[in-house]
């Protein structure tokens, strides 16, 4: 390789590194200190009111943030509506996102824009990130600083969701591969899975585990038998597959480490949950989080902060939407 070619390649790499560093450096908790100093209080008050109306606000908003970040990065593209139903939220993997999550963002956006100084100064992506922190905290989870400075994306396509979100039947290798592609470790993945402590699902997503797991074993042997029988009561054959079931049967409305204790007892609703406690590579982390709320909280804060940096648009990239559900 000639010196000239080497210099060109080196310079290109240097530009990429600088751009990546700049992108991350522009995310900071004090980003709106001058443009909208009360943004966190404004979002919090709106989220608190919504949370008081329905607890579904918490899991719905948290799941919305996760689905946004894993597809095209944390740019609020999950919020965009399409006149021909071809946006991210129209994909089968997103169709079950609860409307309360979208409504939480809408109400928080209205609260922020009600202050003239703040109107159209705060991105929908940042509002979603702040609202997520607030619902976690309101449900009993940790309070943490949220890095801000994201811009809103202008593109949302149904095709971009394909193979970007984990499925209930994933094994540990599949989970690790998907999270690793987003810069997240196995520990990050397990901590974020702990969000299922306040989540809910529908019968159709786990019916195979309780009725026709295999020709010889209709019930998944990794599933606690008594728990499986209770699930059968809640989800009888031919029941409406949209019936919602709490993912944590013990403390479904508290953001705690009960999810990990449930896994130790074979009470993970999805096989992708239960595998975390049966695979030796992840079992130790499950045991740690089950034994220590503090260890789980710390790992969750680190993981969701890292997740909030995935594919962010900053500076002159993207836009700040005046309507979170439509491009400007």
CA-CA distance, 13 to 154, in Å (whole number)?
A: 27
Q: Which residue has the tokens 């940096």?
A: 309
Tell me the angle at which helices 39-53 and 57-69 cross, rounded to the nearest 10 degrees.
130
Query: Is 12 annotated as a binding-site member?
Result: no
Q: Do 151 and 123 contact (CB within 8 A), yes or no?
A: yes
**Torsion over CA: 255, 110, 128, 133 (sign):** negative
CA-CA distance, 105 to 103, in Å (whole number)?
A: 5
User: H helices of the chain, where?
Assistant: 3-25, 39-53, 57-69, 99-113, 124-138, 172-180, 186-193, 207-211, 225-234, 258-264, 271-278, 280-291, 293-307
Query: Is 35 annotated as a binding-site member?
Result: no
Query: Is 88 annotated as a binding-site member?
Result: yes
CA-CA distance, 173 to 276, in Å (whole number)?
A: 11
Structural tokens at position 200? 């809910």
* Residue 155 CA from chain centroid, whole number: 19
Query: Is 233 annotated as a binding-site member?
Result: no
User: 4 burial class (0-12, 13-18, 19+ CB within 10 angstroms)?
Assistant: exposed
CA-CA distance, 160 to 142, in Å (whole number)?
A: 32
Query: Is 196 annotated as a binding-site member?
Result: yes
In three-state form (DSSP H/G/I as H, E/B as E, the rest C), the secondary structure along 100-112 is HHHHHHHHHHHHH
Active site residues: 67
Query: Is 248 annotated as a binding-site member?
Result: yes
Q: Work out the number of other CB atoms within 10 angstroms of the CB of residue 303.
A: 22
Binding residues for heme b: 196
Binding residues for Ca(2+): 68, 71, 73, 75, 77, 88, 197, 248, 251, 256
Binding residues for substrate: 166
């Amino acid at each position: 390789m000639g010196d000239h070619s080497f210099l060109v390649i080196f310079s290109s790499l240097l530009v990429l590194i600088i751009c990546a560093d700049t992108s991350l450096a522009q995310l900071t908790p004090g980003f709106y200190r001058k443009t909208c100093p009360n943004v966190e209080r404004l979002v919090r008050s709106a989220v608190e009111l919504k949370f008081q109306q329905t607890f579904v606000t918490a899991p719905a908003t948290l799941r919305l943030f996760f689905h946004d970040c894993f597809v095209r990065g944390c740019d609020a593209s999950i919020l965009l509506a399409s006149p021909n139903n071809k946006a991210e939220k129209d994909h089968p993997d997103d169709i079950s996102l609860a409307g309360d999550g979208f409504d939480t963002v809408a109400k928080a956006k209205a609260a922020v824009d009600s202050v003239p100084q703040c109107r159209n100064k705060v991105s929908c992506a940042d509002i979603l990130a702040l609202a997520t922190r607030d619902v976690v905290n309101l449900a009993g989870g940790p309070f943490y600083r949220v890095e801000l400075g994201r811009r809103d994306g202008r593109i949302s396509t149904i095709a971009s969701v394909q193979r970007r979100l984990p499925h209930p039947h994933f094994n540990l290798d599949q989970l690790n591969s998907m999270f690793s592609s987003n810069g997240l470790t196995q520990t990050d993945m397990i901590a974020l899975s702990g969000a299922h402590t306040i989540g809910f699902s529908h019968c159709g997503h786990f019916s195979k585990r309780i009725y026709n797991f295999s020709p010889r074993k209709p019930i998944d042997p990794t599933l606690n038998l008594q728990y499986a029988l209770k699930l059968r009561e809640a989800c009888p054959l031919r029941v409406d597959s949209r019936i919602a079931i709490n993912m944590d049967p013990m403390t479904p409305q508290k953001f705690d480490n009960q999810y990990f204790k449930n896994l130790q007892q074979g009470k993970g609703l999805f096989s992708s949950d239960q595998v975390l406690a049966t695979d030796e590579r992840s079992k130790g982390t499950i045991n740690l989080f089950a034994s220590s709320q503090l260890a789980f909280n710390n790992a969750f804060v680190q993981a969701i902060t890292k997740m909030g940096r995935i594919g962010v648009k900053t500076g002159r990239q993207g836009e700040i939407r005046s309507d979170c559900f439509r491009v400007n």
